[in-house]
Chain A
Amino acid sequence: MDRTSHADMSQVAIEMREIVKKFGDFTANDHINLKVHRGEVHAILGENGAGKSTLMNVLYGLYRPTSGEIYVNGKKEEIRDPSHAIELGIGMVHQHFMLVQPFSVTENIILGMEPVKGIRVDMKTARAKVEELSKRYNMQVDPDAHIEDISVGMQQRVEILKVLYRGADILILDEPTASLTPQEIQELIEIIHHLTADGKSVILITHKLKEIKACADCCTIIRQGKYIGTVNVPEVTEQDLASMMVGRNVEFKVQKKQLEPGEVVLDVKDIHGKDYRGVEILKGLSLNVRRGEIVGLAGVDGNGQSELVEILTGLRKGESGSVKMNGKEIFNKTPKEIFDSGVTSIPEDRQKHGLVLDFTVAENLILQNYKKPPFAEKGILKKKKITGHAIELIGSFDIRPEGCEIRPAGTLSGGNQQKVIIAREITNDSDLLIAVNPTRGLDVGAIEFVHRYIVEQRNKNKAVLLVSFELDEIMSLSDRIEVIFDGKISGSVKGSEADENELGLMMAGGVQHG
């Protein structure tokens, strides 16, 4: 990986001094300092809810700071709103993309700043400019493709191009890699490199220490809204970063005791299914998971894993096949019947399936159990019990901030939203837990925590099916790894014997195993 730095330490592009941002009585940013130089990649690291997104929203003019000063290229500025930020050369790519689905790539990039010829949009000039930009920074996009047809990685490039098109010199990327595949992450790091070579500065928020090591010059650490310090990335290890951010030592390796798997809990046989376009994507997949076993499903995105999980959880109907849960057929049953048969899951799309964002945290925590005692009796909700349950889980799963049981789930930070789902699903304590990218967007401390919970389920003799894009996660947790390729299981290895390169090959459809 290229580690040449392009930072010009004599020129400060952005300086934020003593920034304080309060939401009511709650202080999200408590005197934070940040200095970003020209050509520098500056990472911001902090636990879930530490206040990273808030700080960036202040810089981008979405929030007004309660106090503190912002200097852009040495000049003090009051950033009024995002369009003012853009004028000052600051651009932001939000964690959730904001593209117009039916529009083309070019249309999205020029939206709001269209070159005109008379009264018509000059598409030719626009297209040429987009092509020029994408060539300059080596970002492959198809200017005429429609957003709904392109991959997440390409959508991200479109977002970045959109920011560059508006003339940004300082790019804020808020967790840009959270939903990218490893391959796409590599490409993004390349792009960042091209940007800094051109004198642009990049502020990068990520929970993945590897990425910080791979591409950042400096890293500022925030803990619970407070400024902890700024370090030169080459001088520290991943372990140092983790400890600084959490304030204690973090275990990267998951401790797992030996366990002999028991009888089969989930038995999937010869599943066929279609994707949203009606194209067959599952082509006779078979898989089983036994008690006391974590089975990791590894594969490149788009090989059918999403559809498989949707069929297993009842959100999508399969074409044919059989799914048995403890011997009972659950293929194409409703989500409720499947849940009642002992399947619980951490869904892939947290905001769509996992949470009702307008519900309070307490209400979200009883999503599958709202009808059952002690949460309800004779159709009447028992508020005290519901709140008590929430307070308990908020404590034991360290969901922040404290007292958030009465807040709408949508006001929690991304990572804490994920913790709400995990708390709910794990306490369901079902025979089978299906976890899809369970640690997406979580900080290293929280990841350690979630991993321990998943292993604990297994130790309690439950079955776990883990679907993840993070090979590291799959390898460190799984007792057995099944590789999915082109809608089928293409191979299987024991977790303890897995080798990253070999897995990579199998995922690409290379070797047949097991």
Chain B
Amino acid sequence: MVKKKILDNNALYTIIAILIGFVAGAIVLALAGINPATTYGKLFDSIFGQTKYLVYSVVYGVPLIFAGLGVAFSFRTGVFNIGAEGQFVVGALVSCVLGIKLDLPAVIHVPLCILAAAAAGALWSMIAGVMKVKRGINEVLSFIMLNWIAFYLSNYVVNLKGIKADGKEATVDILESARILFPKEILTATGCKSFNYGIILAVAAAIAIWFIINKTTLGYELRSVGFNRFAATYGGINANAAILKAMAISGAMAGLGGAMQILGNQMRIAQFASQEGYGFQGITVALIAGSNPIGCIISGLFYGAMKYGGQKLSLVGAPKEVLDIIMGTIVIFIALSHILKKLLSGRGK
């Protein structure tokens, strides 16, 4: 019962933070001479106006759920996976290349692309993990470095012969057999060309992550190291090994996010001009969810909807950057709420 109360409280704080985010966005809009009511009206309409919009919002949410799961999982183990961005990119890249280059029946092709992306993400994250564990190099630094390496690696691969599409700054499309789109009937019925199995996988992944954290000995290990690595070590847990495992799983999630984006929605990778930010958005998703994997589904969908709906804001003359302000404010206030809660619980009533 007590537990439930606290949960409710958390949700309450989150909702308040979200409201404050929208208020902040409105203030900025008003200051810029744009009518906030019209803007938010447009935003709302662009998400809920038609079934198609809603479905697209879900499609946009899927990779963010995965990125969020990766970051949330790392938080629970006391590591800050700021490298989800890079892991996402290598996951996308590997699934894209395999999707183009292999010619297999779908039942093999799809799982292969997905698993390879997970492995690539895990590996990318483990590089930072090994450097941390073996050499004591702060993971935040190596993560940021790896993000850029992934960025340039992707741009390099995109331009390779046999992968690059003629006359475009992008790869050719992946083969039909690698795509994870829902059957034609569903696509026509919903009006969304990119509706895919990703959402089912995302929910399954969130449940799996929740299960790992709370119900398995592995989760026990990882949490104990995250909370107090001294006591964990004292209790016989190998803290370094636990950190590596956590980083691998975290990276795998981000890598899967990349695969979902390619196999379910984009079908190709374009040359990047700047970092796309899925990994960073994953941090926001994890924070809004309070690092709760099930919460990541909701916050991932929320962010996805904002991203999708936000694209149409220019129609009413509002810059889509206002969404960054809203999301940023939400994150700040959620962070503040943790401090606030500490103060309140210390003081009692």
Which residue numbers of A lie inside 8 Å of B, CB to CB?
21, 23-24, 62-64, 66, 81, 313, 315, 334-336, 339-340, 347, 352-359, 363, 367-368, 370-371, 376, 379-381, 383, 406
Contact = CB atoms under 8 A, between A and B. Distances in A.
14 contacts: A64-B348, A352-B228, A353-B234, A354-B234, A355-B228, A356-B223, A356-B232, A358-B228, A363-B220, A367-B224, A368-B236, A376-B217, A380-B215, A381-B219
B216 A356 contact: no
A383 B214 CA distance: 10
A406 B2 CA distance: 10
A353 B236 CA distance: 11
A145 B349 CA distance: 41
The 10 residue pairs across chains A and B that have the minimum distance between CB atoms = A336-B236, A367-B235, A353-B234, A358-B227, A356-B228, A356-B227, A376-B217, A356-B231, A370-B220, A371-B217
Nearest to A375: B217
Interface in B217-274: 217-221, 223-224, 227-228, 230-238
Contacts of B349: 64, 66
Interface residues on B, range: 20 to 34
A335 B2 contact: no
A66 B347 CA distance: 11
B224 A359 contact: yes
B234 A335 contact: yes
B136 interface: no
B33 interface: no
Contacts, number: 79
B279 to A, nearest CB: 27
Contacts of A363: 220, 224
A137 B223 CA distance: 47
Main secondary structure of the interface of B (DSSP, over half): helix
Most buried by B among A62, A336, A370, A376: A370
A255 B310 CA distance: 77
Contact of A62 (B230, B235, B238, B346): B346
A334 B217 contact: no
Contacts of A379: 216-218
Interface of B: 2-3, 215-221, 223-224, 227-228, 230-238, 346-349
A306 to B, nearest CB: 14
A406 B346 CA distance: 19
Contacts of A339: 236
A357 B233 contact: no
A315 B233 contact: yes
Contacts of B347: 62-64, 81
Contacts of A21: 348
Contacts of B233: 315, 335
Nearest to A81: B347
Given A381-B217, A381-B219, 20 more contacts: A21-B348, A62-B347, A64-B347, A64-B349, A66-B349, A334-B238, A340-B236, A347-B234, A352-B228, A353-B231, A353-B234, A354-B231, A355-B228, A367-B235, A367-B236, A370-B221, A376-B217, A380-B216, A381-B220, A383-B215
